[in-house]
Structure 1
Amino acid sequence: MKTSPFPATSARPLAADPHRQAFLLLRTVFTVAPIIFGLDKFTNLLTDWTMYLAPAATAVVPLPAQTIMYVVGVVEILAGIAVAVRPRFGSALVAAWLLGIIINLMVLGGFYDVALRDFGLLVAALALNRLSPRRAA
């Protein structure tokens, strides 16, 4: 029984291995995107991230919304690094994080389109988890 779908000495070139291609695409996206979005929590260049934070979150965590976004940014950066280093673990972490974001957006209301998009990303993170070797090189 194989423990990894991607043997270290694969005879198939990358161009002929669609499973490996899918893994690399998803791993790259779920490494780069969380890091970029995490960094943007400190600059707000893409958007004002605090508008996506449900007031219930600031009621539970007694910090200003921007401070919470700094914490969110750090978590997202760490999640991206985790996907790069340990994709099986990192993809599960990203999926759980996306579930939290979806719940926050549903509580907030008005951003159901973003919640639906994030649900698609959650499914893609779970697909990465399934494609990830048990012990990534």
Structure 2
Amino acid sequence: MAATTTPAHTAPTQVGADRAFLLLRTVFTIAPIAFGLDKFASLLTDWEHYLAPWINDLVPGTAHQAMLAVGVIEVVAGVAVAVAPRYGALLVAGWLAGIIVNLVSLGDYYDVALRDFGLLVAAVALAALAADRRDKAPA
């Protein structure tokens, strides 16, 4: 009598994917909200130093006002990850791509740009995990 079994690697793999999803979703919810709120408080840094002059010339108002708008966008991105991680993670990835372009165009902060590239890849991984979870959800 042949028994039908699931391969032993399936369950731990799914558990690992669930853990990775939860960790990434948590980080990409909290971090953008925290960084966004700090654009209003400036406790972590003077965010205006990270704004490339050419971008400052494109946006209306002052660099400070631009950073306040950035803060709002980051809070919205964090909430989007919490509510709809599949799409919110892609929003965060796109936002990080913009930050990377800004930092590299400054001709400085390459270390921060490299870190943000790693975060971009992690955000894309979250979107992939979220899509996989949606595809496997019971009907």
Q: Who is 2:124 aligned against?
A: 126
Distance 1:43 1:117 in 2: 23
Quick one: which amino acid aligns to residue 22 of structure 2?
A: L
Q: Structure 1, residues 17-48: CA drift from partner, whole Å, max 9, x if none?
A: 10000000000000000000000000100000
Q: CA deviation at 1:134?
A: 3.0
Distance 1:127 1:60 in 2: 32
Distance 2:16 2:134 in 1: 18
Q: CA deviation at 1:61?
A: 1.1
Structure with greater helix percent: 2
Q: Which runs of 4+ in 1 moved over 6 A?
A: none
TM-score by length of 2: 0.84
Q: Who is 1:49 aligned against?
A: 47
Q: CA deviation at 1:109?
A: 1.3
Q: Who is 1:35 aligned against?
A: 33
Distance 1:58 1:19 in 2: 41
Pairing partner for 2:95 from 81, 94, 97: 97
Distance 1:27 1:125 in 2: 9
Worse-matched range after superposition: 90-99 or 58-67: 58-67
- Cα RMSD between the aligned structures? 1.6
Higher relative contact order at CA 8 Å, sep ≥6: structure 1 or structure 2?
Answer: 1
Distance 2:71 2:57 in 1: 20
Q: Who is 1:5 aligned against?
A: none
Q: CA deviation at 1:62?
A: 2.8
Unpaired stretches in structure 2, ≥5 consecutive residues: 1-10
* Equivalent residue pairs, number: 123
**SS of 1:17 mapped into structure 2:** helix
Q: CA deviation at 1:110?
A: 1.1
Unpaired stretches in structure 1, ≥5 consecutive residues: 1-11
Structure 1 or 2, whichever has the larger Rg, is 2
